[in-house]
Chain A
Amino acid sequence: MKQNKKRNIIIAVVAVAVIALMVIAYLTLKPSTQTGAKSITVVVTHLNGDAKTYEFRTDAEYLRQALEEQELVGGIESDYGLWVQTVDGETANEANEEWWGFTVNGEMGMYGVDTQPVTDGDSYEFTLNVGYDSY
Chain B
Amino acid sequence: MHTSVSSRISVSEIVQLAALTAIMIATKEIMNLLPNIHLTTTFIILGAMLYGWKVLYAVFGFVVVQGLLYGFGSWFFMYLYTWPICAILAALFRHNRSRFFWAMFAGLQGLTFGALCSITYLFIGGVQTMLAYWVAGIPFDLIHGASNAVVAFILLLPLYQLVNKIRSQT
Contacts and interface: CB of A to CB of B under 8 A. Distances in A.
Contact of A79 (B36, B100, B131, B138): B36
Given A7-B98, A12-B104, A77 B136 contact: no
A22 B100 contact: no
B74 interface: yes
Contacts of A31: 132, 135-136
Contacts of B142: 19, 22
A2 interface: no
Interface size on A, as a range, is: 20 to 34
Contacts of A12: 100, 104
A3 to B, nearest CB: 9
Given A22-B111, A110-B129, A11 B101 contact: yes
A115 to B, nearest CB: 4
B35 A132 contact: no
A8 B71 CA distance: 39
Contacts of A115: 136
Interface of B: 35-36, 71-74, 93, 96, 98, 100-101, 104-105, 107-108, 111-112, 129, 131-142, 144-145
29 contacts: A4-B101, A7-B93, A7-B98, A8-B98, A8-B100, A8-B101, A8-B104, A11-B105, A12-B104, A14-B104, A15-B107, A18-B108, A19-B111, A22-B142, A23-B138, A25-B134, A25-B138, A26-B138, A29-B135, A30-B135, A31-B132, A31-B136, A79-B35, A110-B132, A111-B132, A115-B136, A132-B73, A135-B73, A135-B74
